[in-house]
Every structure is written in structure tokens, then in C-alpha cells.
Structure 1
Amino acid sequence: MTLRTSANRIRSTLLVGIAAGAVIAVPAHAQEASDSSAPKTVKTTENGETTIVVVAKNFVPAAAVTATKSDIPLVETPQSVSVVSRDQIDLLNFTDAQQAVRYTAGVFGENYGPDLRFDFFTVRGFTPTQYIDGLAAPASTTISTVGLDLYAFQSLEVLKGPASVLYGSSPPGGIFNETSRRADSQFGGEFEVKGGTDNFKQVASTITGPVSDSVDVRLTGLYRDRDGNPDFTHAKRVMVAPTATFHLGADTQFTPLFYYQYDKVTGGTEGFLPVAGTLESNPNGQLSRKTNSANPDDVYERHQWGAGYNFEHSFGPAFKFVSNLRWSHYKEETPYGVYDSGGFVNTTDSTLANYYKTIYQSNFTYREQVEAFTTDNRIEAKLGSGPIESNFIAGIDYRNIHNVADYGFAGFNETIDLYNPIYVPVEPTLGYTTRYNHQRVKQTGIYAQDQLGIGGFKLLASGRYDWVDSSYLTPYTLVTDPETVNYESSHKFTYRVGATYVTASGIAPYVSYATSFLPQIGTDSNTGNPFEPSTGKQWEAGFKFDGRSLGPGVKIFATAALFDIKQTNVVSTNPSAGPVYGTASGEVEVKGGEFEFVARIHNQLSINGSISYSDSTVLKSNTAAEIGAPLPVTPEYKASLFADYTISKGTLGGLGFGAGVRYTSSSAGSLPGFYNPVVYYGQAATLFDAAVHYDTPSWRFAVNASNLFDKTYVARCSGPAGCVYGASREIIGTVTKKF
């Protein structure tokens, strides 16, 4: 038996084992081959000289299924879309989605610092809805993301502006969609080990290949153990995502997908520090980023899984049927949640020892379970009549979501000196005593879209009609109280029209108009009627440039856009003696401009750059103090640039260096309210990143640093006791074995 034969048998045995464990799961339109599209290092010899080339052919994206649910190229899409491919994720060593949008225009991430649980970011002033493989993620009532690890995905796409015409209820700022890694017909994969600051430790692996002529499999898994920035905070994560692709003939493929993730965070999370000592001065000195205003006993625990499939069948070259489906389960629990809830005890008498030192603490417990079923089914048709070409889709999607959320609260039960903390053990008796959100939502939407092309001119028109029915128990009632069920129904038509002209040089000016809607839970305190959905609309105009025609080895894609978004029928609060009530009288506007580009030159030089300007304003509100205020975590300016160069020849062949700079202006941390008219901010910050790496065909060694000079800044202050520091310096070393 030869060594080659032995290795092949071991490889086949390994892949068969993966196939046996590849349970069904999450899906979407298959966009890219997996490892055949991932960065690969090639070693050649020319004229006696060794050349090392890191091939990353998808570093510069050409298409994004999120924007149109079809294969329409990005340059022809009349709406801004940012794509962070696996090539970019690997070469820039992004750990999570918050980091992945650092160099993306119009997207502001890490709003709550380096949170250990979720991915917090806004798109054009609004919190986006998360999609996984084209289907809505089972997000909880309070957080719009599920925190599924970035390592599970092949790409992250951000569609900016209203997206309801293809996805139903969504905010006017946009959505982001993550596409799972897929099985490949070529054997390949990696095993990597990471280690770094804050006791960061991670092992991860993905392996793929064929187990027969008609079946490809992949298994992706990760284990992470790390500390947070504050003292006593710690996080563990386990993630596994098996998948397979069954080629059922030349025209049919069936791709089951599955993911499971477990998270446990102890000691609290980032944030909830007082203003004095962070954003403002404190006579006792500046609070350290290590200061923990929570409690070492705090626990956050989460289990989530998704199972479904993607099915595609072609009826000849002109017609295709695509079906996506997923069942999802999401459960999070915080049995101990002590945090700084009231700020400093004494802010007036400087003769007392606790002057600007001792804070109030409360215990907020929370649990939520989300069960979701989602499916999307559509027909795609590519037709032509004379000089006119048509790229048409029509479909129907459906989602059924059930949320059950309860909480407990014990206010001002303890105090702690932030400058000399002595933590009191948490009493495990609070439980989850009060209903927060017991809700079932069913949404059905039918949609159609057509792109008509005559030469370089492309006209895109889309329309959709949605029916949304929800039932929910009255919130803020004891879980032991009798159940009172409330019902709400809404229906809405949304649309998008846009035109693009693609010139021979690759420059494509475009203009578009799109609308959105978002259902709202509750009853208007003025009319007594259920809230109508809020609605959004956006004008956008700009140009795109695809520079692949500049020559072999040159790939550039750039987008410049001006936009104006208005959201109406926004619920604003009313002052009252009891609970805070709302009325749908609000209106907000965000307008601005963005420029973004990605380039890869001769597989040596990679560049990511962006600059954006946002002007956000509350136009109408029932709370007078809000009128004229900017939207929270929406900086006026953001600019970023990262460049990376790899030496290809000589004794240093394979060695590369990268450097980047990111600037974000200050932004409001919250809206002013009738109880607190003060607006607190997050600070402006200029941060530097760097990387050094060495590649061979079988190995990659890399060290990446973010916030290289360890700048201390406040990312956000949402209130007098709601400040959080931005991420401190992070240095992570990575060793990757490629096969």
C-alpha cells in the first residue's frame, strides 16, 4: 500500500464520518463554491525563482443574492450593497460580525463595545434585521441578532435601505444576511488555533469534500474561551455546523444545513458605567476599562439551533425553482443579572466618602425562548424577446414565530464602591416573575420582481404584499395572573423601482426608490387602537464601478451613493403617572452620502476603504425634547482604510503586512426624554489596526492587532448609568493548517 493510497483512504473515511453527522439545517441560494473559492496559497518556480501567491478570487465581490434574490450582478443592482466575503474575513482576521463591518460605509458597529454575546451595529441610523441564508433569524424581543458565530459563514452581506419588497417587515435602514459555508466537490479545509489578549483561546476547523459522485459534505466547528475587557467577565462558546449537498441529477440539488451553538458568559458584560468617570470627569479619577459594575456571579446562557434545507431545480436554461426552509430554536437565560442601575449614590456632598464613588445596583433577570418556522419559495425565469432581456422572479414566503419572554427585577438592593469593589453574592431567589412578551406572529408575503435590460440599460421593478397577524398576552403582568390575549392584524404593499446604466468602462450610474414597513406591538394611548405599522421610504442615487476590465490581476469594485430615508408612524412616548404610554406620531429622517471600495491587485495588494456622512433628525414626536435630536449611535462621519501587501518572490516570499485606520465621529447615545432631557454621547475615536502574516501552501501564520495603540474611548452613553468603553487593544495570533 502506498502512502498516497493510505492518505486517500484516511481522507475518505473522514468525509464519510462527516456525512454521517451532517444533520439537516439552514439554507439559501447557493452563491459560491466553498473551499474552491477560499484563499489558497500557490507555490511556483519561474526562471529558477520561487513565487508564493495567495489567491483570493472572491476578495472583491461581484454578486450578492441578498439584494435581489437572484444572480443579478452588483454593478447592475440599483441599491447599495456591501459584501464582506470569506476571503476578506480570513485575510483581515475578523472574529465577529461587529468587526467585519469596520471598513463598511454607513454601518456603525460595536455600539456596546466588544460585547461577548451579540453583534451590535446600525445601518444608516437603524438597527438592521438579521437573516441567515435568506431567512429571518429567530431574534429575541430585545435584541435584533442571535450572535451566531462568524466562522460558520461564507459571507456577510449588508443591504442598505428599505428591503421589505423582498423580505417583508423590516426597518428602513436595511438588513444583513449571512450565508452558511457550503459543501464542495473538492476536498479541502483547515484547522486553526488562535490565542491572544484577554486570554483569548480558540480552536476551529472546517473540512469538506465528496463522499460519492453525487454527495458532497462539510463539517464546521469551533470552540472559544476568552475573557472580556472588565474584570471577572468570561465567555465560552461551542458551535457546530454540518451540511451536505446531494446532486440529484444534472438539474437538481438538495442542500440540508444545520447549526448548533452554545454560549455561557459569566461576570456580566460590557457597560452600565456612570457618566462621571467615563464620558465626564470624576474627582476620584477616571474609571478603568477593567471596572466591572456588575457582579462575578452574573450568568448569561444561550442555546440555539437551526435545521432546514435549500432545494433548487432547473427546468432547462430559462426556468429554476428555489425553495428555502428552516426550523429554529433560540433560548437565552439570565438567572443573575446584577448591574449599575441608578448611578452614584451621592453626587452633591463631597465631604462624604461615597462622593462619586458608590453606585446603586439592581438585579434584572431575563429569559426568552423563540421557536420559528420560515420558508421562502420562488420561481426564477430568464427570458428574452428581441433586444429586451428579462430576469424575473416570483415567490411566496411565510414565517411563524413564537416568543415567550419573562423577567424579574429587584431595584436598588445593593451598593458597591467602583473604585474599591467588594462584590456581594447574588441571591438566587428573584426568578422570572413578570411577563414581558408572550407573542405569536404569522406573516405571509407574495412578491414579484423583474429586471428588464436593453443593452447597458437595466430597469428593476419589484412589488410585494404582506399579511401579518399577531396575538400577545398583556405585558408587564405577573406570570401568575390570568392571561389576557390581544390581537393585531396588518397588511401592506411595498415596492422598489430602480434604473441602472452599465457603460463599457464599468461605470454604472443608478437611481432607485424603495419602501418598507415594520409592525409595532401595543395600543395607541391617544386613540386606543392598535398601532399601525411604521413605514419607510428611501431615495437613492449614485454610481458603481466594476474595474475587472482594467487588466488581468486587477479587481476593483466601488460604490458611491446619496440617500434620503424617512420613517413615519414611529411610536413616541407620552408622559404619565404610571407606565410609559406611546402614540404613533413620530417621524425621523436620515440623509447622507457614502463611498466604499474594495480592491485586490495581482493577488498581492488588498485595499478596503470607505467614507460616509449621515445627518439624522427626529422630525416629529409627542415628546418635545426629541424634536431636532439626532438618532442614537448614528455618527455624522465615519472613514476607514486598510491596505495589505504580500511579498511574492525571493527569500521573503509569502510574508505580508497590513495596516489600517478607522475614524468615527461622536454620536448620540440615546434620545432625550421627558424624564431626562440630556443627550449623552459616544466619543469620537481614531483607531489603528495592523497585521503581519506568512503563507505557505500548507500553513498560514498571522498576528492581527486592532486598536493597536490601545486608545481609551467611550463607545456609547445611553444614560447617566449606561456608559460603555470601546474595545481595548486586541492582539491575536493564528496558526492555520490548510489541506
Structure 2
Amino acid sequence: MNTRANGLPFKLSIIAATLFAYQPSLNAAESSEIERIQVQSHSSYRSTATKSSLKAIDAPTSISIIDQALLKLRQADSVTKALRYVSGVTTESRPSISIFDQFNIRGFDTYQSFYDGLPLLSNNSWNLYPQVDAFATDSVEILKGPASSLYGLVPPGGMVNQVAKYPSKSQNTKLIATTGSHNLIELGLDSTGQFADSGEYRIIALGRSRDGQQDTTENERYLFAPSATIHFSEQTNLTISAYYQNDPEMVPSTPLHSIGTLYQAPYGALDADAYAGDKNWNHYEREVFMWGYKFNHQFDNGWTFLQKARFTDADALQQNMYNKGLADDNVTLIRSAYSTDEQIRGLTLDNQLAGTYSFANSQHAWLLGLDYQTSESDVAYRDTLGQNTASIDLSNRDNNMLVVSELPLDFYQEDHQIDIKQLGIYFQDEINWQQLTFILNGRWDSFESTDIADNVYAGSEYGSTTQIEQNAFSGRLAALYRFSNGWRAYANYAESFEPQSGSDTETGLAFEPTTGQQTEVGAKYQSDNGQNRLNAAYFVLKKDNLVTTGQAVDPNTNETRSMSVQTGQVEAKGVELEFNSQLNKDVSLSGNLTWLDMEVTADLDQNLVGKTPVWVADFMASFWANYHFTESFPGLMLGAGYRYVGETQMDKYNTDTVSDYGLLDLVAAYQFTQNDVKLTASVSNLTDERYVGACYDASNCWMGSERMVEVGVEFNF
């Protein structure tokens, strides 16, 4: 994410807010299968936590799974909405923004999402982040803690993987129609079945249009995702898939000032629909095409080979605004207009060879893997730097002021050519001995990138080339013990890495990758019938080798000057509790609690040491209950949830806090007993509470989501 405030570049950390895990499904039968999810019927499915068939309940790590039934029940049309009720995860600090899915896991931001175990390609810097709609997703799996030992470049907090819907032999066609707040209109088709003795197909299509929460904004999406599986034999199959998504109109991130959102302004307080952009300028459109395949073969000796590949071709145009603070009247917001025109093309590939063998009294499941990704992206950035860009009176907002042809977008220009290559080789030994399961992981990564930039400032041309060539090793050691009464105890140590550009001003040496290390202990419980589950985890997670900048004394000259050194560290300590319970055939309950203590433990700027990073709540909680009227009103289900997010910091120096908030959500569903028709309804933020989602600093705050109502009908045949 690249934008500017007060003339300096900064990354807009994004979408974060609270919420739940291990949800109960619509009935007891579905609930007992939530650990496996339907996708495991596909022969090439492997768990996000281990890239093996090990069930989530038996994995010595923290993982939460949300299945398709819950995605639809909660009317979750994005990953950020799907994660509302997952412990340790905040997703909606900027809930009205729709151009990307970004979340905070265990206190650490991540822009990287995975689709079917492969990363959705981005250059990790700008605004083009492909999204996969929840309607095309069978489940969402959230792995908490460092995951680089299997996936390479991943932030230390964890990762989110959307598992794709696969073709099925069982013929079924689903049609959905939904309407609701902000003129929502949504139509969807999901059809699967057998097309020959040795093949299955699936076709997914969706169209959605709705007004944005902020004045004059809109969201519009169209997707088409066909796939086919061909069985060459009982041991060999190939799935070919394509995914096309066109987003003609989406809502970019346009911040407001803390005065008017967090604090009272001379005119009072801004409503949730307040907008600092302009309808003539602010705009975001994106087009994404992905096609790929999965090849799965089982050898006669029991070993299997899985190869997954995906090619991505995507582009996006953003026209947006940032603010340069308020004028002295605390009413007039000074603005700058900018645009980003981006394209990315690339390939991701993952090869997995898996097999089992016995040694003494232990069973070993080996996994050998090699993955590779390469991408080329072009970025054109234009910025008025406030020149001839109309300010806006927040007390009497006019979102129809700008004359686009008069904006001096050539005042500041950046043109980038970014090439990225990453190669990873990994190994896993999953050892089962009596009631014990051990996981040993190791992975070596080679990362290379080149960023060639051409700049123009006020007519003066200049440029630069930034190169990164870094290698990293990441490991994981984990163990779980299964007791006979349904309890499990586990512990793990895991590592992560992220490439880092630049060089140390003190030594002149190129920076090393930033690294993460986590130590975690926990307990899991599942009853014999699978209807009662409990998870508890305690973790200590550190991120090292952070680049810190500021004024410091140069040890070589004893002079105070601007320094950039790789000595920063952030530490997060936390406790997560989750439970799911099917009390009887009618009542199911689930909930979670999260305590998080996060602070900067080392920084060149000593004023930051001991401070909590922005957008990190020290406490979160959520609770959900479903009731099925099995006897009195068969087919009817009512559900209610409450999610609470504690205080967050207003800025990195912790000069003030953003108030806590709690939101109430409701859902209802009615399944007609005589046919395959279901009616659904949902309300989020039932009381329409006004709240501030988060602030990056005093000049950059975002309002929370207002009440949203949706009703839908689903036909299955």
C-alpha cells in the first residue's frame, strides 16, 4: 500500500476488528464434521496447518476453520467479514474499504492471502491485491503463528487460506438471490456434477452491486469460475480451473481526521457515511484472471505426488485522496489527489511428494516440497502533492467539487518496474508414536527482487534501482499428546521471515530479512461425538531485525545524523480461548476470548520503546448462539452474536486511544420442508452504533461499519 501524508510515504495498515473461531454449523450432524470439512473428499486436499491429511484437532498448532455453510449464513461476501468471529484476529478497522482483504493476526498485519495453498500474487508494496470472493470459497482456514517453514514469505502472526470449491460427482445446482441495505442486489450460481464416466465439473458465477457506506461510493463485482476434474485412473486425476473477476467499482481507503471522528469538531461529530473523497475523482477498478491446475498421482507404493500451478494476470486503477491535516479552523481538510495504475503477471507453482513409512513402533509421514513463484509488475504513481487540489469543508461536505482535468497529476510521478522471484525447498516429518504426534519442518528460501523507479518532481527527473537478494531458513518443531478422555496438549516453536530492502547507514551492509519466532503451548478438547470442542493457547511471538530510523549519534563521527539500522524488535504475548458446543439438537453455542500484550521492545527511537503498535486491541471477545425450532417450527433457525473489541492506540507514540466498541449481529434461516428452498436474513451492527474503527495517527482515522441488513433466497436442485 503506498500513499503519502504530510509529504512522506507511509503504508496504510488495514482492515482489523474482532471476532470468532470453530463455528457450529446449522445442525449437529454438520457440526461434528467441521474439523474435516467437505473439501477433504477431494483427493488433493491437504490441511493448511501441515499440508497433510492430519485433522485440525490433532495438529500441534492453532488453526480455525470456517466452512461454506457459515460463510453463507453470516452473509460473508469477503474474507474480512468471514473472520469476524475468529480469536486472535482483527479484520475491520476500516470495514467500509473493499479493495483488499487485510487483517491482523496475533498483533501483526498481513497483506498476503492464499487461495488453495498458493499465494495470491502481489508485489507487497502497492494497491493491487487480488481477492477471491467468499461465494467461490468452500472454507477459510486460519493458521496462527509463523508459517514460513511451509509457505515461505509470510508475516509472523499467521496466514489465511481460502480453500476452493471443487467439482463433485453428486449433481447439485444452487441459485441465490440477495437484497438489502445500500441497494444491494446479488445473484449467484453454483452448479456441479458428473459430465462423463471419468469427469466432474463445477461452474460458479456471481454478480453483486451495492452502494458503499461512504457518500457517493459504490461496489460492483462480477465473477466466473469454471473447473473440471478428469480421473485418468483410480490413482491419477487432474483438476483444471479458471477464475475471472471484474470489479468495475470498489471503495478505496480515504481517511478522515481524528477531529470529527475520534474527537468533537466545531460542527459536532461526523456520521458513519462521512467521506473526504470526491465523486469526480475517487475510483477503484480491478480485473483479475487466474487459471491453473492440480495434478494428483498415487504411486503403487503409497506415495503421492501433488503439483499445483496458477498463472495470474491482473490490473487495477486507483484514483484516491489523502489528507495533509486540518486547517487552523479544525473544519477544512487539506487534501492531495493521487492515482496508481498497476499490472501484475506471474506464476506460482508448488510440488509436493508425500509418503509414509514405519520405523520401530512409530509411523512417519514425509513431505518433500519445492515451490516457486515469479512475477512482473508495473506501477505508475501520480500525485498532486496538494497542488491545486480543493480542500473540503467537513461541516458542510461537498463531494462534487474537483475538476479532474485541472489536477496537476504530473507534479510528482513514480514509474516502477518490479520483478520478483522466490524459490523454496521444504521438508516435513510427521511422526506418530502411540498417543504422540511430532512435527518437524525445515525450509530454505531464496528471494530476489528488482525495483527500477523513474521519478519526476516539479519537472526534475531522477531515478533509482532497489535490489534484494536474500536467503532464509525457517523451521518448526511441534508436538501433541492425545489423552484417552478427548483432551490434547501441544507445544510448538516456529519461525518466519520477510525480505527487507535497503542497507544499514552505520555499516553500509545490506539488510537481512526480518524474522519472527514463536513459542506456543496449548490444549484442545473434542468429545467423542465431535459436538463439544475447546481450544486454549498461550504464545510469545517476537519479530526481529526490524528497520528503525531516526536521529542518532554516528559512532564513527560522533555526529548526530539520520540513521537507518536493523535493530528493531516487537514482542506479542497472548492467550486465546475458543469453544464450540452443540448442547442438544436445537441449541449450539460458540465463543472466544483473546488477551494480547504487545509492545515495541527495541527501536532507534527510544520514545517508541514500551509502546503498543496501532490497531492492536489488548482484549477481544465474541459469542454466538443458534437455536433450531426442531419441534415447534421445523426448518426455522435463529442466531445471534456479540463481538467486542477493546481499546486501540491512536498513534505509534500512544498519545491517546481509540475507544472500545461492541456490536450485535443477528441471523435467521428457514428451510422449507417440502422443497429445497431456503430463506436467509442477517443484520450486522443491529443497534447501528457509531464507532471509530481505527486510527493510524491523528490525521488518519476510519469510521466503523453502520447497520447492514440482508435478505436472501436459495434454491437447490
TM-score (norm 2): 0.89
Residue aligning to 1:223: 207
The equivalent position to 2:191 in structure 1, one of 207, 228, 232, is 207
**How far is 1:531 from its partner?**
1.9
The residue correspondences of 1:230-269 to structure 2 (distance < 5 A) are 230-265=214-249, 269=252
Map of 2:558 onto structure 1 = none
Structure 1 position 529 matched with structure 2 position 529: no
Superimposed CA distance per residue, residues 18-56 of structure 1 (whole angstroms, 9 cap, x where no aligned partner): xxxxxxxxxxxxxxxxxxxx9899xxxxxxxxxxx9856
Q: 1:507 aligns with which of 459, 462, 487?
A: 487
Q: Deviations over 1:89-131 (max 9, x none)?
A: 1233322111111111000011212312222310011123211
Provide the aligned C-alpha RMSD in A. Answer: 2.4
Establish whether residue 720 from structure 1 lines up as the match of residue 701 from structure 2: no
Q: 1:518 to 1:226 in 2, by over 3 A?
A: same
**Match of residue 137 from structure 1:** 120
Q: Does the 8 Å contact 1:370/1:404 carry over to 2?
A: yes
Q: Which ranges of structure 1 fall in alignment gaps of 5 or more residues?
A: 1-37, 42-52, 347-354, 673-677
| Map of 1:27 onto structure 2 | none
| 1:274 is the counterpart of 2:257 | yes
Paired position in structure 2 for 1:152: 136
What is the CA–CA distance in structure 2 between the aligned matches of 1:144 and 1:465, rounded to whole Å? 28
* Residues 582-641 of structure 1, C-alpha deviations (whole Å, 9 max, x = no match): 432211101111012334466643333111111111111112222111122111101001
**Aligned ranges 1:457-472 → 2 under 5 Å:** 457-472=436-451
Tell me what 1:6 maps to: none
Question: Which of these residues, 567, 583, 591, is aligned with residue 585 of structure 1?
Answer: 567
Stretch moving more, 317-326 or 433-442 = 433-442
Of 406, 409, 431, the match for 1:452: 431
Contact 2:466 2:501 in 1 (8 A): no
Amino acid at match of 1:118: F
Which whole-Å CA distance do the structure 1 matches of 2:544 and 2:512 have between them?
10
For residues 665 and 66 of structure 1, the distance between their equivalents in structure 2, rounded to whole angstroms, comes to 29
Q: Matched residues in 1 for 2:678 and 2:562: separation?
A: 55
Aligned to 2:679: 701
Q: 2:222 and 2:655 mapped to 1: Cα distance?
A: 39
Compared CA separation, residues 609 and 61, structure 1 to 2 (3 A): farther
1:427 matched to 2:404? The reply is: yes
What secondary structure, in the 3-state scheme, does the structure 1 residue paired with 2:385 have? strand
Aligned to 2:8: none
Are the aligned partners of 1:211 and 1:217 in contact in 2 as well (CA < 8 Å)? yes
C-alpha deviations, 1:301-320, integer Å up to 9, x for none?
11112111111101136211
Provide the C-alpha distance between the structure 2 equivalents of 1:148 and 1:683, rounded to a whole number of angstroms.
Answer: 32
State the shift of 1:152 in Å.
1.1
> Does structure 1 retain, via aligned residues, the 8 Å contact 2:467–2:501?
no
Mapping for residues 547-696 of structure 1, pairs under 5 Å: 547=527, 549=528, 551=529, 554-574=530-550, 582-600=564-582, 604-650=586-632, 652-672=633-653, 679=655, 681-696=657-672
Q: Say which SS state the counterpart of residue 634 (structure 1) adopts.
A: coil
Q: Following TM superposition, by how much is the alpha carbon of 1:213 offset from its aligned partner in structure 2, in angstroms? A: 1.2
Distance in 1 (CA, whole Å) between partners of 2:154 and 2:78 is 23
- Residue 475 of structure 1: CA displacement? 6.9
CA distance in 1, matches of 2:658, 2:226: 40
**What secondary structure does 2:85 align onto?**
coil
Q: Distance between the aligned counterparts of 1:59 and 1:198, measured in 2? A: 33
**Shift of the alpha carbon at 1:681?**
4.0
> Contact 1:449 / 1:461 at 8 angstroms: preserved in 2?
yes
Cα distance between partner residues in 2 of 1:115 and 1:711: 18
Q: How far 1:61 sits from its partner (Å)?
A: 4.7
Structure 2 Cα separation of the partners of residues 575 and 58 of structure 1: 57
- 3-state SS of paired residue (1:311): strand
Q: Which amino acid aligns with 1:370?
A: I
SS in 1 for 2:531: strand
1:158 partner SS: strand
* Contact in 1 for aligned 2:35/2:57 (Cα 8 Å): no
Distance 2:137 2:310 in 1: 16
Q: 1:681 to 1:325 in 2, by over 3 A?
A: farther
Partners of 1:603 and 1:146 in 2: CA distance? 40
Determine helix, strand or coil for the equivalent of 2:690: coil
1:679 Cα deviation from its structure 2 partner: 4.2
Structure 1 residues 24-173: aligned runs within 5 Å? 58-59=33-34, 61=36, 65-128=47-110, 129-140=112-123, 141-142=125-126, 145-173=129-157
Q: Secondary structure at the match of 1:112?
A: coil
- Displaced runs of 4+ in structure 1, greater than 6 A? 38-41
The answer to whether 1:519 aligns with 2:499 is yes
C-alpha separation between the residues in 1 aligned to 2:506 and 2:183?
53
- Secondary structure in 1 aligned to 2:52? coil
SS of alignment partner, residue 321 of structure 1? strand
1:481-514 deviations in Å (ceiling 9; x for gaps)? 5765443211111110011101122211001101
Q: Which 5+ residue runs of structure 2 have no aligned equivalent? A: 1-23, 41-45, 553-560
Q: What SS is found at the alignment partner of 1:276?
A: helix
Contact 1:270-1:725 at 8 Å conserved across structures: no
Identity %: 28
SS across alignment from 1:65: coil
Q: Between 391-400 and 91-100, report the one with greater CA deviation.
A: 91-100
- One-letter amino acid matched to 2:291: A
Q: How big is each residue's C-alpha offset from its partner over 1:681-722, in whole Å with a ceiling of 9 and x where there is no partner?
A: 432111101112211241110110111111110001112221
Matched with 2:520 is 540
State the match for 1:197 in structure 2. 181
- Residue in structure 1 matched with residue 373 of structure 2 by the alignment: 399
In the TM superposition, what is the alpha-carbon distance from 1:399 to its structure 2 partner? 0.9
CA distance in 2 between partners of 1:604 and 1:713 (Å): 34
Given that 1:608 and 1:642 are in contact with CA atoms closer than 8 Å, whether structure 2 keeps it comes out as: yes
1:96–1:488 distance in 2 versus 1, CA, 3 Å: closer
Inter-partner Cα distance in structure 2 for 1:732 and 1:557: 30
Distance 1:223 1:515 in 2: 41
Match of 2:422 among 427, 435, 443: 443
Deviations 1:225-278 (A, max 9, x none): 111111111111111111111111101110111111111336x54551111111
Number of equivalent positions: 668
The structure-2 alpha-carbon separation of the partners of 1:418 and 1:580, relative to structure 1 and needing over 3 Å to count, comes to farther
Partner of 1:5: none
Q: Separation in 2 of the partners of 1:603 and 1:670?
A: 48
Local SS of the residue matching 1:671 = coil
Structure 1 680/258 Cα, relative in aligned 2: closer, same or farther at 3 Å?
A: farther
Corresponding residue SS for 2:80: helix
Amino acid at match of 1:374: T
